[in-house]
Amino acid sequence: MAVSLPKSSVEFSDPAYWKKFFAIHRSPFEWYGDYASLGAVLEKYLKPADDILQVGCGNSRLASELHDVGYRRILSIDTNAAVIAEQTNRNRERPALKFEVKSATETGLDPESINVVLDKGTLDALLPPGDESAVELVEHMFDEMARVLASSGRYIVVTLAQEHIVRAWIKHFLPTNQYILRIHKIDNTASGFPMPVFILVATKMKMRMPMPMPMEFCRAGQEKAVRLADANGVLESINGEQYLSRFVHLCGKFIVDDPAVAEAKSYAVFIVPIGRDGDWLFATEKGRRSLRVQCEKDRLAIVTLFRESSYASLDEIKDELTSFTIRLNPVKDTKGVPKRYDFVSLGEHDVKKTIATGESAMNGRWSVEDVLIRDKEYRRLKKGKKAISFDTLACEHHEVMLLSFALLEACPLVRPDEVPLKVAVLGLGGGLLAGFLVKNLAKARVTGVELDPAVVKIANDHFAFPSADPRMDVRVMDALDYLRETAEGDESLKQDVIMVDLASSMTEEGLSCPPPVFLGEQALEWMRGALTENGVLALNLVTRDEDVSKAAKEKVGRHFASLAVVSSEEDVNEVLIAARSEAKTPFDTKKLMASLDRSRPWIKKCVENIDKLAML
């Protein structure tokens, strides 16, 4: 098995981890890039005559590369004996280079004997985030580095500059009033290393000064350093650079060009609404290609906003993005000036506030958000997009699923308080649909089936889900098992309506809902078998792929006597409504319309939707 990057914080400082790591990574493994990407900054701080100490050399080629460009007096140390042996062996042709098994916390070197200490990735490795026990070790290392550094010596740390690293570094060196602290952002885009890399340089003065020494920040490719007042200023600059790198990284991935066009003549930036980044349209290559075609642009830059960001308006987003997106604009006027371009978005959902976020072992990251939809505020669970109000449904596809009632012999849309019926909702999410049914159909017994116990807990904690209602039965189990048990069980288990609202993460197959197995022959047969004789299935189908949609409808159609489809106007959802028996074809909407109880807003909404019900 491959040992790659350390998985837990303790592993970083555990010699056993490194032993295993290097046993597998026999060839040089360059943390944060090699001399080609770091050299331009390193050379500012190195002189050929310097005595250089490299701490935690691992099996990096850095010492060899420095040697080959003229720096000879390099001692590299590491606590791992195997890598030291390997380095010694590999550098036989470079006798000036020394490699020794030693700890950076206790080098045994003479005081003030070193001009440059070089650390690439070792500080990051020794001080994982949130590991208090490592702080002491790192303090020892800092003290030791300060001890061995000669006057005007440079302590150079190549790092990802996570906040705890930068704070620890500043906290140690700034109060001494003896070090000039400088932070460089490296342009490592060509190195293949996916994260932004920084170099921290602490330059030692001859003696302590009466006042704090300056702190400076140098952006990649800029000569001039910016002076910063305190640790927060430093962190802000670093964060800005990290943000830019993440942005460029994201955009780099999501720039879609028309393959048939040699020179792009039109360009737009598409902003993915917050919370929609998992949709097929944005999350898959095929989806993004189709988005570009829909936008009718030769080049489309698709921008995913970070969930933690909050923006008051689309204009605010544009302002923040313009300095980046302009760089991607291929459309220039005759003077080479980039032409105006559009920002586009779906813009229908606006996240007002994130109430809670977390991670479930089964479903991964989730968040509960208050969102504005059609000028009304709703609460939804990111995975299932459910609204909190049990009086109305925020999701159009839920409203449409209620049309399944129209195909029932005893129609609950006519007498919602009187018709006894059994409904199973597969996929609970925030529990909104199931909760809505319990609240609005006085005689309905609702079974909610959910695989992930964390989702049930979210429904209870954040959505006032009526789990205690005697008419509500929550089953934490695989919906497929539920279907099999019900289909094979006795008549008392059968349901009048089964609503399938199961999200899937298998976006690559072009099917976000339901998971593909639920459209398999066996599952569809169980769905049919789990219904009463005149029962109705409502299945939420989410795909942008027309072929996938067509195949799904054909499959469902083969298992049920009649099938109707309602396509959403706002969203990608299609709701398939399938009746087990032939009874209601052609569907008599007129007769039904006349008898509906329109005093209830949700039934009024059903009336509007009935027109969209197209029997296939």
Ligand X SMILES: C[S@@+](CC[C@H](N)C(=O)[O-])C[C@H]1O[C@@H](n2cnc3c(N)ncnc32)[C@H](O)[C@@H]1O
Q: Which is nearer to ligand X, 129 or 453 (CB)?
A: 129
Residue 30, interface with ligand X (CB under 6 A)? yes
Q: Are 167 and 231 in contact (CB under 8 A)?
A: yes
Q: Which is nearer to ligand X, 121 or 448 (CB)?
A: 121
Q: Which is nearer to ligand X, 79 or 562 (CB)?
A: 79
Q: Which is nearer to ligand X, 140 or 555 (CB)?
A: 140
Residue 33, interface with ligand X (CB under 6 A)? no
Among positions 52, 57, 291, 408, the unique one binding ligand X when judged by CB under 6 A? 57
Separation of alpha carbons 281 and 572, rounded Å: 9
Among positions 38, 117, 121, 384, the unique one binding ligand X when judged by CB under 6 A? 121
Q: Which is nearer to ligand X, 32 or 482 (CB)?
A: 32
Q: Which is nearer to ligand X, 58 or 273 (CB)?
A: 58
Q: Which stretch binds ligand X (CB under 6 A): 57-65, 470-478, 536-544, 559-567?
A: 57-65
The dihedral through the CA atoms of 412, 413, 417, 418 has a sign that is negative
Beta-sheet strand order (sheet of 531-542): 472-476, 444-450, 421-426, 495-500, 531-542, 573-579, 562-567, 614-615
Residue 126, interface with ligand X (CB under 6 A)? yes
Q: How far is the CB of 190 from ligand X (least distance, A)?
A: 17
Among positions 38, 114, 125, 281, the unique one binding ligand X when judged by CB under 6 A? 125
Q: Are 35 and 98 in contact (CB under 8 A)?
A: no
Residue 144, interface with ligand X (CB under 6 A)? no
Q: Which stretch binds ligand X (CB under 6 A): 75-83, 363-371, 454-462, 485-493?
A: 75-83
Instruction: Give strand ranges (E) for 251-332.
Output: 255-257, 267-272, 299-304
> How many residues form the binding site for ligand X (CB under 6 A)?
23
Q: How far is the CB of 461 from ligand X (least distance, A)?
A: 40
Among positions 3, 9, 11, 29, the unique one binding ligand X when judged by CB under 6 A? 29
3-state secondary structure of 22: helix
Q: How far is the CB of 160 from ligand X (least distance, A)?
A: 11
**Tally of CB atoms within 10 A around 558:** 10
Q: Which is nearer to ligand X, 79 or 178 (CB)?
A: 79
Angle at 522 between CA 521 and CA 524, to 5 degrees: 65
Where b means 16+ CB within 10 Å and e means fewer, 401-414 reads bbbbbbbbeebbbb
Q: How far is the CB of 107 from ligand X (least distance, A)?
A: 9
Q: How far is the CB of 526 from ligand X (least distance, A)?
A: 52
Separation of alpha carbons 47 and 294, rounded Å: 57
Site for ligand X in 81-120 (CB under 6 A): 83, 103-105, 120
Residue 78, interface with ligand X (CB under 6 A)? yes
Pairing of strands 421-426, 444-450: parallel
Q: Which is nearer to ligand X, 35 or 463 (CB)?
A: 35
Separation of alpha carbons 59 and 64, rounded Å: 10
Q: Which is nearer to ligand X, 76 or 507 (CB)?
A: 76
Q: Are 553 and 563 in contact (CB under 8 A)?
A: yes
Among positions 37, 64, 79, 203, the unique one binding ligand X when judged by CB under 6 A? 79
Separation of alpha carbons 172 and 511, rounded Å: 53
Instruction: Give strand ranges (E) for 477-521.
Output: 495-500
Q: Which is nearer to ligand X, 88 or 103 (CB)?
A: 103
Q: What is the separation of C-alpha 509 from the centre of its chain, rounded to a whole number of angstroms?
A: 19
Site for ligand X in 6-25 (CB under 6 A): 13, 18
3-state secondary structure of 288: helix
Residue 123, interface with ligand X (CB under 6 A)? no
Q: How far is the CB of 29 from ligand X (least distance, A)?
A: 6
Separation of alpha carbons 480 and 7, rounded Å: 34
**Tally of CB atoms within 10 A around 214:** 12
Q: Which is nearer to ligand X, 4 or 595 (CB)?
A: 4
Among positions 37, 38, 50, 58, the unique one binding ligand X when judged by CB under 6 A? 58
Write the DSSP symbol of residue 492: G
Separation of alpha carbons 203 and 44, rounded Å: 12
Residue 60, interface with ligand X (CB under 6 A)? yes
Q: Which is nearer to ligand X, 86 or 574 (CB)?
A: 86
Q: How far is the CB of 235 from ligand X (least distance, A)?
A: 22
Residues 6+ apart with CB under 8 A from 581: 533, 534, 561
Among positions 55, 84, 235, 498, the unique one binding ligand X when judged by CB under 6 A? 55
Q: How far is the CB of 145 from ligand X (least distance, A)?
A: 11
Residue 122, interface with ligand X (CB under 6 A)? yes
Q: Which is nearer to ligand X, 19 or 471 (CB)?
A: 19
Residue 80, interface with ligand X (CB under 6 A)? yes
Q: How far is the CB of 125 from ligand X (least distance, A)?
A: 4
Instruction: Give strand ranges (E) for 93-225.
Output: 98-101, 114-120, 149-159, 179-185, 198-204, 215-218
Separation of alpha carbons 386 and 272, rounded Å: 19
> How far are the Cα atoms of 331, 339, 434 from residue 334, in angstroms, in the given order?
10, 10, 60
Which residues are 301's β-sheet partners? 255, 269
The footprint of ligand X (CB under 6 A) covers: 13, 18, 29-31, 55-58, 60, 77-80, 83, 103-105, 120-122, 125-126
